[in-house]
Structure 1
Amino acid sequence: MTLKIDAHQHYWRISRGDYGWLTPETGVLYNDYMPEDLRKELDKHGFAASIVVQAAPTVEETDFLLSLCEREPTLAGAVGWLDLESSTFAEDLDRLLQSPYLLGIRPMLQDLDDNAYIVRERVLQSARILANRDVVLELLVKTQHLPYVVTLLEQTPGLRAVINHCAKPDIAGRVTEPWLEWMEAAGALPNVYCKLSGLVTEADHRHWTVDQITPYVREVCRIFGPERVMFGSDWPVCLLAASYEEVLHAALDTLPDDWTDQQKANVFGENARRFYKIKLDVAEDDADAIKK
């Protein structure tokens, strides 16, 4: 029996005012996306719950997401944001941890000018605080950030971390190096997981195919194994290239052929439940439910 969890999706309300990257030019994304907009997809595909991930670098948005968790039964928890260089990081984190729904913290590293931000001394201190509090660090990174991520993780061995979107490889350009080299280094560290998410938007939005994505997924699965890979839809960002159902089927189609049905099922729930230490009082779905 396997509980199905979508380990990565977003909710936002534009009128809140802290989504600076959301403009009319972002097309389909320039709309409000709230739990009522995703429930149908979750129910249709047998997902008992999802994890909502921050999309703005503000504590106010984190509070907003935690408030959604308080009233939305499909939410298992939230990954929020804090300033890792703040002198009050520990106090700010402890306040957020008063909510049972805070699962992790995600700095938006891909948007920062300094690729080495994550190894600044004050940031390293905050990472150690996360490790001591047993709070997950989510890594929104690209290839150029991976060497510094590896340094961070080597210096904080107790930190549980997860790489978002497979570190955004250049699928459209069919580039694998040095992405692969650094993913190997990250995957060698036992507390590091990887999300199979956000890949369709790294391919050609209009002409992506499962065959283009497969080599990247297979490498990630080889490196991290069936116990450290988690499915995330990256909804609604995925809508730039694919529907929820298309993203789900692409993930199913790209998993290694030699993985057992149970190992594949774990990617769609059990690994996330174990990694985030989620406890849900809901009926579990049969592992066969993830099949098309």
Structure 2
Amino acid sequence: MIDAHQHFWLYNPERDSWITDEMATIRRDFLPADLEPVLRANGIDGCVAVQASQSDDETLFLLGLAQAYEIVRGVVGWVDLLADNLYDKLESYSQFEEIKGFRHVAQAEPDDFLMRPEVIKGIKQLAAFDFTYDILIYPTQLKAALHLVRAAPDVTFVIDHLAKPYIKTKEINRWSNWMAEIAKQPNVSCKVSGMVTEADWHNWSKADFFPYLDVVFDHFGPDRLLFGSDWPVCLTAADYTQVKTIVEDYVQPWGDEVRAKVFGQNATAFYRL
């Protein structure tokens, strides 16, 4: 049982300015010692730590945690995709088996960011070291993401948080059309994560998420979906057990084989845990 997406940080008000006043509940440190009992209580054996800030220090911080704590099975770090010495940096990181891939906070960039030639050139270099790439975007950036995954067929991608559909306003059609196209690319998986923070934080129900889960299950299928909690960000809208239960209740009719894939086997294969 693997949680394919969560974060650790030592809270820094300047660096972590994305944590707004309404997210005050997560304005503190979150470390493996905080997560370990939560995972144990929920029957989860390990997790993948994903970057939250954009610096080489962040990657090294997460690497240190992965080397110190057994529950941290892999790291998705950050690297400057536009750096002249990117290949050398990737080669250096490749000596650490804990580092599985990289991510950039593309959701904070212009909508065309992922289709820029220089960005694609950088991401394509990940393939030489079998590094994965996590795609963090909003629905308006799905067009660029589709261009990227087509342009880099040798890179293994995963879309974080279902590309953050507008669950709160129940918009689904345009998002679902783009997701259907992206799912046609065999090198792309999708994380079933981050949904509660796209809903009404204080007034959501499980049924709000099922239409969106229908879309990704229909198009990606049970072999390319990975459960992730997005802890501790999820705590602004739900506790860990609530997040896990949404996905558990959805996959329950699919049977134990599918549950095992979504809750661990797919993440283990994708990130080579």
Q: What TM-score do the two structures reach when normalised by structure 1? A: 0.90
Match of 2:181 in 1: 185
Q: 1:25 to 1:205 in 2, by over 3 A?
A: closer
The unaligned stretches of length 5 or more in structure 1 are 279-292
Given candidates 141, 145, 168, the residue that maps to 1:145 is 141
Q: 1:230 to 1:13 in 2, by over 3 A?
A: same
Given candidates 248, 259, 263, the residue that maps to 1:264 is 259
CA apart distance, 1:26: 2.8
1:51 aligned counterpart, secondary structure: strand
Given candidates 216, 220, 224, the residue that maps to 1:220 is 216
- Partner Cα distance (2:119, 2:232) in 1: 30
Question: What amino acid maps onto 2:255 in structure 1?
Answer: T
- Partner Cα distance (2:4, 2:28) in 1: 22
Q: What TM-score do the two structures reach when normalised by structure 2? A: 0.96
Given candidates 106, 109, 119, the residue that maps to 2:106 is 109
Q: How does 1:34-183 map to 2 (within 5 A)?
A: 34-112=31-109, 114-183=110-179
CA apart distance, 1:231: 0.2
Match of 2:19 in 1: 22
- Partner Cα distance (1:197, 1:133) in 2: 26
- Partner Cα distance (2:70, 2:251) in 1: 29
- Partner Cα distance (1:51, 1:191) in 2: 19
Q: 1:256 to 1:152 in 2, by over 3 A?
A: farther
CA apart distance, 1:98: 2.0
1:268 aligned counterpart, secondary structure: helix
Question: What amino acid maps onto 1:152 in structure 2?
Answer: L
Q: Contact conserved, 1:168 with 1:202, CA < 8 A, in 2?
A: yes
Deviations 1:154-206 (A, max 9, x none): 11111100000000000000001210010001100111000000001100000
Match of 2:200 in 1: 204
CA apart distance, 1:256: 6.9
Is the counterpart of residue 277 in structure 1 residue 242 in structure 2? no
Q: Contact conserved, 2:94 with 2:129, CA < 8 A, in 1?
A: no
- Partner Cα distance (1:254, 1:218) in 2: 9
Structure 1 segments (4+ residues) deviating >3 Å? 15-18, 22-25
CA apart distance, 1:115: 1.0
Deviations 1:25-52 (A, max 9, x none): 5311101000011111111122111001
CA apart distance, 1:61: 0.8
Match of 1:285 in 2: none
- Partner Cα distance (1:23, 1:261) in 2: 39
- Partner Cα distance (1:174, 1:16) in 2: 33
Match of 1:289 in 2: none
CA apart distance, 1:18: 3.2
- Partner Cα distance (1:23, 1:172) in 2: 18
CA apart distance, 1:252: 0.9
Deviates more, 1:24-33 or 1:189-198: 24-33
Match of 2:9 in 1: 12
- Partner Cα distance (1:60, 1:221) in 2: 36
Question: What amino acid maps onto 1:68 in structure 2?
Answer: L
Deviates more, 1:14-23 or 1:46-55: 14-23
Q: Contact conserved, 1:221 with 1:256, CA < 8 A, in 2?
A: no
Deviates more, 1:19-28 or 1:48-57: 19-28
Question: What amino acid maps onto 2:71 in structure 1?
Answer: T
Q: 1:20 to 1:60 in 2, by over 3 A?
A: farther
Q: How many equivalent pairs are there?
A: 273
